Amino acid sequence: MVNQQIAQKFYKTADLLEIMGENPFRVRAYRNAARTIESLGRDLSEMVAQGEELTKLPGIGKDLAGKIREIIETGTFSKLKELEAKVPPGLIELLKVEGLGPKRIKTLYDTLGITSLEELREAAAKGQISALPGFGKKLEQTILKGVVLAKKEGRRFRWAYAESFALELVRFLKKAKGLNQIEVAGSFRRRKETVGDLDILVTASNPEKIIEHFVSFPDIKTIISKGQTRSTVILSSDIQVDLRAVEEESYGSALHYFTGSKAHNIAIRTIAQKAGLKINEYGVFRGKDWVAGRSEDEIFSAVGLPFIEPELRENRGEIEAAMEGRLPQLVTLPEIRGDLHCHTKWSDGQNTILEMARAAKGLGYSYIAITDHSRRLAMIKGLDEKKLELQAIEIEEARKRIPDIHILHGIEVDILEDGTLDLSDEALSHLDVVVAAIHSKFKLSKTKQTERLLRAMDNPHVNIIAHPTGRLIGEREGYDLDMEKVMEHAKDRGCILELNAQPSRLDLNDVNLKLAKEMGIRISIATDAHNVDNLRFMRFGINQARRGWLEKKDVVNSLSTKKLLRLLHSKKG
């Protein structure tokens, strides 16, 4: 039972409680606990096995600690089973639709009897939803679009969620005798932001024994097939896993084939055909003669190419770049020197400034920026000018206590509807870094939303635009923006665009990152951390950055402290 599974059960409980109209404090308690669990750096199962007290974790009281133990011991807990028996299962699917929260879903269920995405689509198409109090035509159209997005996502899982199960499976399979090589291939290996299933390749002295060991994995819900060299199962998380055992001489070719993408593989096979070769999952052949296939290096070498990193294999120019010797040296996690978007207890974070700085130091960082929310977000105690001054005093004290990491004083300031900022220029002028972000009015027209961002970047104090498109993977599409215009303005104004490493955001996406690189725009890979464990989200941002062809030189938080400060202050002239 991995942390992600426990967190998902708490999230589901919160959703079901809210759909039933239960006490909002109970709902919030489950959601807060889920956030704590999914960002933990340690395995809860191990903590329970070692008898550690779970109540020391933020947001975990005695009651929730008991429920965590129950989940670990039984796979679920009684309260969730009780709620699942009361609420139609299709209602949870409706939560994926933009514009719908648990309260609105309850209204749709109570008044129109809607229990599925298809029933929701039909009701919206007939105009039944806009007739309900508090809904209206605009929301009805948003719901219609949201249904399409939810269906398009299908049973895909965020990469970070799938990773938990992939790592657990690899650890489990490595315990089997006779295992030689193992790799998780497919879209997971290419680090796509969502994956549909997991493809695991192995070589082994006795494949049948590996298959037997694989199907004994404790978290399997259904065994779809079990052969001598291949097996397919469904995990309790609903992720499908395909395991293939291949010959040693075919491992490289199988790894290349099953990593994909399909478009990349077709392009490589086309090059091979022109050279009189045939490439498939078993190897490289000239006629009937096997030529290569033990490693991916052999596959690429056979067609006259250098090794192409898995993240680039989308047939978006990587083959041409390889031919011309201009493949990027993709950025790596050790090259990151700091984090420029973090929150503390001064707004909606869970740790103090000192705790965040110590955690950043522990990661080997040279600097960390404290960027709590501005006053506009009053529900999370956003900072006004006075609080910002008080925070500056605390930051100065923290700097004295941890002198070997540079603590930058910043703010995540709200961009208002007209493009002005939530705090005065005077207040912003005293800060080391200003991160500007949109947190409201997501549905402005393309023209207005674009102008809103352009005006914000005109402010001489704004260094970084946070999560620039505002998308939430599988939940909310990004703002309607003219991205090319936004990027041109960012370049003209010397603004940095953020790659938000939160697994639910990964904003900018890979296509926009590649465009930004080509335009010469600098990127900040930032975690938007709300606790010390969130700082480790940086690796998810690195995944996305690599898919966007980013190199160390494209990433501002790969700079030394001195060079970074010079860059941040240069916009102010």
Residue 525 has pLDDT above 60, yes or no: yes
Which amino acid, residue 417?
A: E
Q: Within this chain, do residues 96 and 8 fall inside the same structural domain, yes or no?
A: yes
Phi, psi dihedrals of residue 285, rounded to the nearest 5°:
-125, 140
What confidence score (pLDDT) does residue 486 get?
A: 96
Sheet holding 283-286, edge to edge: 278-280, 283-286, 289-292
Average pLDDT of the segment spanning 7-21: 87
Instruction: Give the rounded distance of the alpha carbon of 24 from its chain centre.
Output: 27
Q: Which of 298, 323, 348 is the last residue of a domain?
A: 323
Q: Say if residue 168 is in the same domain as residue 265.
A: no
State whether 446 and 529 are in the same domain: yes
Alpha carbons 272 and 133: distance in angstroms, whole number: 63
Q: What is the pLDDT averaged over residues 327-344? A: 98
Q: Which residues pair with 201 in a beta bridge?
A: 183, 244
Whether 221 and 264 share a structural domain: no
Question: Does 442 fall in a domain?
Answer: yes
Q: Are 255 and 185 in contact (CB under 8 A)?
A: yes
pLDDT mean over 262-270: 95
378 falls in which pLDDT band (50, 70, 90)?
low
243 forms bridges with which residues in the sheet? Answer: 200, 231
Mean pLDDT lowest among 5-9, 40-44, 352-356, 545-549: 40-44
Which candidate, 534, 217, 139, 485, places its Cα nearest to that of 350? Answer: 534
Q: Does residue 261 have a cis peptide bond before it, meaning omega lies within 30 degrees of 0?
A: yes
Q: How confident is the model at residue 507 (pLDDT cuts 50, 70, 90)?
A: very high
> What local confidence, expressed as pLDDT, does residue 437 receive?
97
**Within this chain, do residues 189 and 265 fall inside the same structural domain, yes or no?**
no
The reported pLDDT for the residue numbered 109 is 87
Tell me the CA distances in angstroms from 324 to 265, 272, 515, one per residue in order: 19, 17, 20
Residue 152 confidence (pLDDT) above 60: no
Tokens at residue 489, please?
């303005």
pLDDT the model gives residue 75: 84
pLDDT at 448 over 70: yes
Question: Does 328 fall in a domain?
Answer: no
Residue with tokens 């062809």: 549
Q: Which amino acid is at 196?
A: G
Tell me the CATH number at 184.
3.30.460.10
> DSSP states of 384-438 as a string?
-HHHHHHHHHHHHHHHHHSTTSEEEEEEEEEBPTTS-BSS-HHHHHT-SEEEEE-
Mean pLDDT of 212-225: 92
Q: What is the mean pLDDT of residues 240-267?
A: 96
Position 320 scores a pLDDT of: 96
220-240: per-residue pLDDT in tens?
989 999 999 999 999 988 899
- Report the distance separating Cα 91 and Cα 104, nearest Å: 11
pLDDT band for position 144 (50/70/90)? confident
Q: Which residue has the higher pLDDT, 537 or 144?
A: 537
Answer yes or no: do 13 and 104 share one domain: yes
Taking the C-alpha atoms of residue 169 and residue 147, their distance in angstroms, rounded to an integer, is 33
pLDDT at 250 over 60: yes
117-126, 263-272, 337-346, 505-514: segment of lowest average pLDDT: 117-126
Mean pLDDT of the chain: 92
CB-CB contact of 19 with 106 (8 Å): yes
CATH number at residue 447: 3.20.20.140
Q: Tally the C-alpha atoms within 13 A of residue 298's C-alpha that lie toward its C-beta.
A: 18
Give the single-character DSSP code of 533: G
First to last CA, the chain: 54
| For range 115-143, the mean pLDDT | 87
Of all residues in the chain, the percent with pLDDT exceeding 70 is: 97
Question: Which residues, listed in sequence order, are joined to residue 371 by a DSSP beta bridge?
Answer: 410
* Contact of 267 with 322, CB cutoff 8 Å: no
- Is the pLDDT at 479 greater than 60, yes or no? yes
With contact defined as beta carbons under 8 Å apart, do 345 and 567 qualify? no
User: Do residues 454 and 559 both lie within one domain?
Assistant: yes
Q: Are the CB atoms for 356 and 344 separated by under 8 Å?
A: yes
C-alpha 367/C-alpha 389 separation (Å) is: 21
Where among 230, 245, 260 does a domain terminate?
A: 245
Residue whose entry in the numeric block shows the structure tokens 């910002």:
388
CA distances from 302 to 47, 308, 370 (A): 49, 13, 50
Residue 526 has pLDDT above 80, yes or no: yes
Q: Indicate whether 1 pLDDT > 60.
A: no
Residues 6+ apart with CB under 8 A from 566: none
pLDDT for res 469: 96
Write the DSSP assignment of 216-278 as a string of letters: T-TTEEEEEEE-SSEEEEEETTS-EEEEEE--GGGHHHHHHHHH--HHHHHHHHHHHHHTT-E
What's the domain range around 429?
Answer: 333-570
419 assigned to some structural domain: yes
**Backbone Cα Rg of the chain:** 25
pLDDT, position 67 = 92
Residue 264: CATH number of its domain:
3.30.210.10
Residue 64 CB contacts under 8 Å (≥ 6 apart), including other chains:
10, 29, 30, 33, 54
What's the pLDDT at 5? 83
**Domains in the chain, number:** 4
Are both 263 and 284 inside the same structural domain?
yes
Most confident of 8-12, 113-117, 221-225, 248-252: 248-252
Co-location of 432 and 521 in the same domain: yes
Is 138 within the bounds of a domain?
yes
The amino acid occupying position 291 is V
Identify the CA nearest to 549 among candidates 257, 262, 317, 265: 317
Cα dihedral across residues 545, 546, 548, 553: positive or negative: positive
- Pick from 217, 245, 273: which residue ends a domain? 245
Same domain, 175 and 132: no
**HSE (CB half, 13 Å, CA atoms) of 232?**
5
pLDDT in the model for residue 89:
77
For residue 331, give the nearest of 300, 360, 309 by alpha carbon. Answer: 309
In a domain, 492, yes or no: yes
Q: Out of 130-134, 320-324, 382-386, which region has the weakest mean confidence (pLDDT)?
A: 130-134
Q: Which pLDDT value is given to residue 312?
A: 98
Q: Read off the pLDDT of residues 268-323 as tens digits, 9 standing for 90 and up.
A: 999 999 999 999 999 999 999 999 999 999 999 999 999 999 999 999 999 999 99
Q: Residue 142's pLDDT is what?
A: 83
Kindly state whether residue 88 falls inside one of the protein's structural domains: yes
Region 152-178 average pLDDT = 87
| Residue, of 143 and 185, whose pLDDT is higher | 185
pLDDT confidence of residue 40: 74
CATH number at residue 68: 1.10.150.110
**Is the pLDDT score of 150 beyond 80?**
no
| 206 occurs within a structural domain | yes
Mean pLDDT for the stretch of residues 195-217: 95
Q: What is the DSSP string of 430-483?
A: T-SEEEEE--S-TT--HHHHHHHHHHHHHSTT--EE-STT--BTTTBPPP---H
Q: Do residues 521 and 553 share a domain?
A: yes
Residue 43 banded pLDDT, cuts 50, 70, 90: confident
Q: 87 and 174 in one domain?
A: no
- Does residue 445 lie in a domain region? yes
pLDDT tens, residue by residue, 410-441: 999 999 999 999 999 999 999 999 999 999 99
Average pLDDT over residues 203-207: 95
